[in-house]
Amino acid sequence: MDEARLIDGLARGDLAAFREFVETYKKKVYFLALDMVGNSADAEDVSQEVFLKVHRSFGTFKKDAKLSSWLYRVAYNACIDYMRRRALAPEPVADDVLDSPGRSEALLASSAAPADPGRAVEAAQLQARIAHALDRVSPQEKAVFLLRHYDELMLKEIAECLQLSVGSVKSYLFRAVRKLQKELGAPGAAGVEVPHD
């Protein structure tokens, strides 16, 4: 279904069109939420909240806008809302024991781990360092970086999604990359191997 027909279907409240829309964008929304909120259970809840919001309030979509840009904006706002709510909630303290596999181990288990255990550990450590570096970036810088680097949106599209000027997007992105570089250390140093093309 092309975008115009999809928009038309969504505007009419057509459930088949909505399902098509969900199937098309569920992975993008879920992974953006996962990157922003940091765990899979909450990422699913946030991503589903995004689609529920789309379903409830598609009337606010302007037909001359790009559907994916609007969706990213809804998703970004939902992530920020979630993070604000989480910041207000007390930190979990009672069940640290269940924190068993740390993020690096979880990533090691879930990704295609190399057969060599030594390399697997190195790969897991790299993933942990990357995750840690991303945690040091502000939510807005992180969102801009994620959208550009992993979702491959152009700077203009990101500006449209987040309702920012292109200059601001460039600024956030530049700051994000610099912070990541600081956190990851000099390429090639202490465990940060720079892959060669």
Partner 1 sequence: MISCRGSKDLMIEALYGELGPAEREEFDAHLRSCPDCAAEYSVLGATLRVMDERRRPDPGPAFWDGYWNRLAAKMGAEAAPATGRLPLAFRLRRAFEVLPRWPYQAAAGAALIVVGILIGRAVFGPGGRTPRLAGVTTARAATAVSDDPALRARRYVDRSQVLLLGLVNYDPKTQDVAGFDLAGKKAASRELAAEAADIRTSLKDPRQKRYRELVSELEVILMQIANLDAGNDLDGVELVKQGVTDKGIFLKIDLSRMGWSGPALPGPGPRTGPGASAAGGHAKDKI
In angstroms, give the least distance from the CB of 13 to partner 1.
Answer: 5
Q: Contact, 53 vs 78, CB < 8 A?
A: yes
In angstroms, give the least distance from the CB of 145 to partner 1.
Answer: 8
Tokens of 108: 């090691």
User: Of 75 and 184, which has the nearer Cβ to partner 1?
Assistant: 184
Cα 197 from Cα 183, distance rounded (Å):
23
In angstroms, give the least distance from the CB of 174 to partner 1.
Answer: 5
Q: Contact, 62 vs 19, CB < 8 A?
A: no
Q: Which residues contact 121 (CB under 8 A, 6 or more apart)?
A: 108
User: Of 2 and 194, which has the nearer Cβ to partner 1?
Assistant: 194
Q: Which of 90, 103, 122 is nearest to 193 (CA)?
A: 122
In angstroms, give the least distance from the CB of 112 to partner 1.
Answer: 8
- Amino acid sitting at position 117: P
| Residue ranges in contact with partner 1 by CB under 8 A | 13, 15, 19, 22-23, 26-27, 30-31, 34-35, 39-42, 44-45, 48, 51-52, 55, 89-101, 106-107, 109-111, 126-127, 130-131, 148-150, 154-155, 170, 173-174, 177-178, 180-181, 184, 186-188, 192-195, 197
